[in-house]
């Protein structure tokens, strides 16, 4: 019997909860709790690819960039290098924590982390409309100086009156470099950590060279593309809510545990899912299903193993 391959995207409070400051102890504890929830998939015969977010971590790296330059004259690193740094650090943490979880459960498996480059289209409209906020909050004077010095683009920060944050493009992923290797390793029974933080953003120039892009890629979209390219049967997004809801946080809020493609698309088009949070996850799930995936699941990071939680999306309604 052919084993199923699942891609599991760790996000939300899977690595870091909103009320925490982000110490390594906090992140390791959260990661371990999340990975404990994946053991049942291994016991049920699934091969696994793990992806993850990097929002708080790459933001901290960018702020260390600023502090290093201002205090010690250390050269700033571009966004692609910062994303790669976060991939390596978070991937190492997930790999080590997962090895420990497997040992405690008496499971013998290799765990490997691959720093992954994700290709974007240099002509993507997002490059002309940067929206993704990154890094620290600056004053108007600081933002103006950096804009003149480096060509950075800034947007007023709604959470801090008079503050500005750098914005960069968030283009759609179009290819995952080494996706065949990722799929082969996973199908051979290895647990693979890949495409962290949406992947290191790169593009292919007119000479067919791989070039860095000053951008960030949505990790759920990149994870969905990876799942499709390696032929995964199932795609899981672990976040900070146990279900998909319509009329979220309204008196008529309704849990949607089982959904088909058509109804999910209808709810998306009706505006039930916030553009900055749930909508990209829904779009990633629909893209996966339309590319041949069998089932997409969205649930809370620590409740995956409890099958009474989680919203399951299939092409046609199944219960």
Report the catalytic residues: 12-13, 132, 219, 281
Query: What's the order of all strands across the beta sheet hosting 234-239?
Result: 111-113, 191-193, 47-52, 5-10, 234-239, 295-300, 311-314, 258-260
Report the b/e string of 40-64 with b at 16+ CB within 10 A.
ebbeeebbbbbbbbbbbbbbbbbee
Contact 122, 213 (CB under 8 A): yes
Backbone angles phi, psi at 223, to 5 degrees: -65, -40
Looking only at the bridges linking them, the beta strands covering 200-204 and 117-120 are parallel
Place of tokens 């497997």: 102
């Amino acid at each position: 019997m052919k084993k199923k391959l699942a891609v599991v995207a760790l996000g939300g409070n899977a690595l870091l909860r909103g009320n925490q400051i982000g110490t390594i102890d906090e992140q390791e504890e959260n990661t371990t709790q999340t990975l404990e929830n994946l053991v049942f998939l291994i016991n049920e015969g699934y091969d696994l690819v793990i992806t993850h977010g990097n929002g708080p971590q790459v933001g901290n790296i960018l702020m260390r960039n600023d502090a290093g330059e201002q205090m010690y004259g250390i050269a700033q690193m571009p966004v692609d290098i910062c994303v790669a740094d976060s991939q390596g650090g978070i991937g190492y943490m997930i790999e080590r924590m997962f090895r420990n979880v497997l040992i405690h459960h008496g499971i013998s498996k290799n765990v490997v982390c691959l720093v992954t480059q994700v290709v974007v289209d240099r002509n993507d409209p997002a490059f002309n409309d940067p929206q993704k906020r990154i890094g620290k909050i600056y004053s108007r004077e600081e933002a103006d100086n950096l804009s003149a010095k480096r060509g950075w683009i800034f947007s007023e920060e709604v959470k801090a009156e008079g503050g500005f944050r750098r914005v960069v493009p968030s283009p759609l992923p179009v290819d995952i470099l080494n996706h065949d290797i990722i799929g082969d390793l996973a199908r051979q029974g290895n647990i693979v950590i890949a495409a962290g933080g949406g992947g290191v953003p790169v593009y292919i120039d007119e000479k067919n060279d791989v070039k860095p892009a000053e951008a960030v890629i949505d990790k759920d979209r990149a994870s969905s593309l990876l799942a499709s390219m390696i032929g995964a049967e199932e795609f899981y997004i672990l976040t900070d809510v146990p279900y998909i809801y319509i009329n979220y946080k309204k008196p008529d809020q309704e849990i949607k545990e089982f959904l088909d493609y058509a109804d999910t698309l209808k709810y998306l088009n009706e505006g039930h899912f916030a553009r900055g949070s749930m909508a990209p996850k829904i779009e990633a799930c629909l893209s996966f299903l339309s590319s041949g995936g069998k089932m997409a699941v969205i649930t809370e990071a620590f409740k995956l193993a409890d099958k009474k939680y989680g919203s399951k999306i299939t092409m046609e309604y199944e219960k």
